[in-house]
Amino acid sequence: METLQVERDGGIVTVTLNKPQKKNAVDPAQWTEMARIWDEIARNPRRDRAVIVTGAGGDFCSGADLWLPPGEEPPHQMTAMRSVAKAIQGLHDLPQPTIAKVPGVAAGAGFSLALGCDLVVAGEAARFSMIFAKRGLALDGGASWLLPRLLPLHKAKELAFFADMLSAEQAEDFGLVNHVVPDGDLDGFVADWAERLAGGPPIALGLTKRLLNDSYSRTLQEALEAEGMAQSITLASKDTAEAIASFMEKREPTFHGR
């Protein structure tokens, strides 16, 4: 799709929302295509090692695109929402680490999409809002699940009820953004992080991501058991043998996901 661009370079997949005339608002077809892209990436963990999600034209994503071409029937509401859900679930389930690179505005479902990534890096001019209430809408895009896991519940309700616009600095203070960098440094900073992730051990990173994502639903005993299972897998991998050999030989390791 012209409105959803996928580029691959050195193990890094960059997925760019490309409707700058609408601040990259996402339409139903894009949600469906996004889910397909996540599925393709998930099936190729040795080729695709890290994922960047961003927007074109100086903005990340202004939310859902509710405009329909003349004469086109709107989709059934639950059908449309299931397309959003499938895309957000697919992003969450990716074994590869993901980075949201946020220039400009990230609002509504666009804010949810950014928070659904493992890491969020914003330019100084970035702005964030759970805009839903101001549009007479409830939260979506996984925001009702994500916000209470990232913030104290009362803070999550503040963002959802008032739908105020946060500056990049405020979002960082809230703990919703990992780093805020000068706008001119955004591409370089995210590229460096993505390269480091792409050069890391895919099996270990994927298992670590799953352990952290699943931690909210586990007791300590269950977490320790899951860690034991994960560590058994990594210790049997060639990547761990390579890490030990490279340490002994005083060189950088080369990981292949095996």
Start-to-end Cα distance in the chain: 33
Identify whether residues 112 and 206 lie together within a single domain.
no
Identify whether residues 113 and 233 lie together within a single domain.
no
Better-scored residue on pLDDT, 69 or 121: 121
Closest CA to 162 of 126, 127, 140, 134: 134
Closest CA to 255 of 206, 211, 214: 206
Residue 255 counted as domain residue: no
pLDDT of residue 118: 98
Q: Phi and psi at residue 181, in whole multiples of 5°?
A: -130, 160
Residue 254 counted as domain residue: no
Residue 174 counted as domain residue: yes
* Total structural domains within the chain: 2
Identify whether residues 212 and 138 lie together within a single domain.
no
Residue 213 counted as domain residue: yes
| CA separation for the pair 194, 197 (Å, rounded) | 5
Is 31 exposed, middle or buried, given 0-12, 13-18 or 19+ CB atoms closer than 10 A?
A: buried
Identify whether residues 83 and 189 lie together within a single domain.
yes
Q: Percent of the chain beyond pLDDT 70?
A: 96
Average pLDDT over residues 149-176: 97
CA 22 to chain centre: 21
Give the residue numbers spanning the domain of 177.
Answer: 4-198
Report the mean per-residue pLDDT for the chain: 94
Better-scored residue on pLDDT, 66 or 257: 257
Identify whether residues 215 and 177 lie together within a single domain.
no
Identify whether residues 48 and 130 lie together within a single domain.
yes
Identify whether residues 120 and 206 lie together within a single domain.
no
Identify whether residues 237 and 174 lie together within a single domain.
no
| CA separation for the pair 126, 45 (Å, rounded) | 31
Q: DSSP string covering 90-159, please?
A: HHHH-SS-EEEEE-SEEETHHHHHHHTSSEEEEETT-EEE-GGGGGT----TTHHHHHHHHS-HHHHHHH
Identify whether residues 132 and 207 lie together within a single domain.
no
Identify whether residues 173 and 217 lie together within a single domain.
no
| CA separation for the pair 82, 70 (Å, rounded) | 24
Q: Percent of the chain beyond pLDDT 90?
A: 90
* CATH at 86: 3.90.226.10
* Encoded tokens for 19: 């409707």
Identify whether residues 185 and 221 lie together within a single domain.
no
Q: Is the pLDDT of residue 71 over 60?
A: no
Q: Is the pLDDT of residue 171 over 60?
A: yes
Please give the biggest Cα pair distance in the chain.
67
